[in-house]
Amino acid sequence: MRTIQVLESSEFNGKSGKVEYLLDGKRISEPLVKVKEEELPFPYESLNPIQSVFYRHYAGGNALISSPTSSGKSLIALLFHLRNRGGRFIYTAPTRSLIWEKFREFKPFFKRVGVRTGDLIEELSEITQPAVVCTYESLISAARNRAKWFEEAGALVIDEVHVIRDEGRGAIIEELVSYALSEEIPLLLLSATIPGAEELAKWVGAELFIESKWRPVPLERKVFNLRKLLKKSKLPSDTPEEKIVSAVESLELKGKTLVFVPRKDLGWQALLVENTKFGKRVVNETLPFTPIEREGEKVAFHNADVPQEEREEIEKEFREEELNRLYATQTLAYGVNLPADNVVIFVRGSFDRFTYTYRFFPDPLTILQMEGRAGRFGLSPKGHSYLIVTGAKESSLEKALKEEMEKPFETALSGGLTREGAACPNRRKSVLSLMVLGPLIRYGSRWQEAVRELFSLRRNPLLVREVEEIVEELHALGFLEEMKPTALTKLLVSSFVSPYCFVEFAGRLKATESLREESPTEGYLFTVRPFIRREFNPKTVALFTGEGFIKEAEKIVKRIEEETSLTVRDNSEVLIFYAKGGFFPYRNVARPPGELSNLSAESSLLGQLLCRLNLFDFDTLHRVIMMVRGGVPFKFSLLGAVEGLGYMRGNALATAGELLRAPNEVALINAIREGVPEYLEALKEALSYRHASVKAVERETTTIVKSLSKVKFPLGNERLLKFLSSLFVGRREALKLTKEEALEVLRENVTGEEKN
- Can you identify the CATH homologous superfamily of domain 2-212? P-loop containing nucleotide triphosphate hydrolases (3.40.50.300)
Task: Kindly report, residue by residue over 56-81, the tens digit of the pLDDT.
Answer: 999 999 999 999 877 888 999 999 99
- For the chain, the domains span 2-212, 219-404, 427-494
Q: Which among 438, 433, 352, 443 has a CA at the least distance from the CA of 391? A: 352
Instruction: Give pLDDT tens digits for 318-333.
Output: 998 899 999 999 877 6
Rg (CA), the chain: 27
- Rounded Cα distance between 326 and 570, Å, is 33
CA distance 79 to 142: 25
Q: What is the pLDDT of residues 249-263, one digit of tens each?
A: 999 999 999 999 989
| CB contact at 8 A, 360 and 367 | yes
Element (H, E) at 63: strand 62-66
Rounded Cα distance between 52 and 42, Å, is 13
- 3.40.50.300, 3.90.1570.10, 3.40.47.10, 3.30.70.1450: CATH of 219-404: 3.40.50.300
With CA atoms as reference, report the closest residue to 389 among 255, 221, 162: 221
**Angle formed by the axes of helices 618-630 and 572-579, nearest 10°:** 90
Q: Which residues of the chain have pLDDT under 70?
A: 121, 333-335, 415-421, 754-756
pLDDT for 416 equals 64
Residue 142, amino acid: A
The confidence score (pLDDT) of residue 756 equals 47
Q: Do domains 2-212 and 219-404 have the same CATH topology?
A: yes
Rounded Cα distance between 505 and 513, Å, is 13
| pLDDT score recorded for residue 418 | 57
